[in-house]
Amino acid sequence: MPESVTPLDGATCSGFVTIKDAGLAGMILLRADLGDTDVVSALQGAGFDLPDPAELVGELGNGALWMSPDELMILCAHDEAEAIVATLAEALSELHVLVANVSDARAVFRLSGNGSAVREVLAKLSPADLRQAALPPGRVRRTRLAQVPAAFWFASDDEAVLICFRSVAGYVLELLLKVATPGSEVGHF
């Protein structure tokens, strides 16, 4: 089997923020009725806690993102994703759910710099409310960047993690670079 690689092969670029390919990450899509006590019990029995709506529990590589009322994105090490899919499939086998390894279908970026600069870069591309009060660290936002779907959250005041489809990773990198060009700061935040 060929070795997995990221679509951007470790690219790092700088403007008034630093944009990095975050490397390989395990991502497991779980579609289920997240309000069903049987689903919640089975997930907890398999060692997974449900995040609150629009929240992240854990971090990239070890956590879970609340994506919608019936969707979680489980984050793990890339090489552990298949084993976790098998564990979840077994734990949830009696329930109406979908568990799928989507690790190789996604690209992950880390944006770092002054917190207000990172927010400004994302605000130039997304209609999301990026004020600190609306999107504090740990809160997940599904949105679009220009015309492509994406999700992001702030890991800290000075770092955001962004996930998009692998097929548009190059386009997203170009967008991020364009809006992070030194001298293009707006100073909105």
Let me know whether 81 and 93 are in one domain. yes
Let me know whether 134 and 158 are in one domain. yes
Examine residue 143 and state whether it is found in any structural domain, yes or no: yes
Q: What are the tens digits of pLDDT across the range 87-102?
A: 999 999 999 999 999 9
Type of residue numbered 136:
P
Let me know whether 16 and 109 are in one domain. yes
Give the pLDDT score at 2. Answer: 67
Examine residue 61 and state whether it is found in any structural domain, yes or no: yes
Domain with 16, as residue range(s), is 12-23+105-179
Let me know whether 127 and 36 are in one domain. no
Type of residue numbered 135:
L
pTM, 2 dp: 0.93
- Hey, what long-range contacts does 149-156 have (CB within 8 A, 24 or more apart)? 150/126, 151/65, 151/67, 151/73, 152/122, 152/126, 153/56, 153/65, 154/115, 154/118, 155/59, 155/60, 155/110, 156/115
Q: Over 90: is that where the pLDDT of 3 sits?
A: no
Q: What are the tens digits of pLDDT across the range 118-169?
A: 999 999 999 999 999 999 999 999 999 999 999 999 999 999 999 999 999 9
User: Looking at the DSSP assignment, which residues form a beta bridge with residue 100?
Assistant: 29
Rounded-to-5 percentages of helix, strand, coil across the chain? 25, 35, 40
- Distance CA(98)–CA(68), nearest Å, equals 14
Give the pLDDT score at 30. Answer: 96
Examine residue 98 and state whether it is found in any structural domain, yes or no: yes
CATH number at residue 116: 3.30.1360.120
Give the pLDDT score at 4. Answer: 83
Domain count, the chain: 2
CATH number at residue 64: 3.30.70.1520
Let me know whether 96 and 134 are in one domain. no
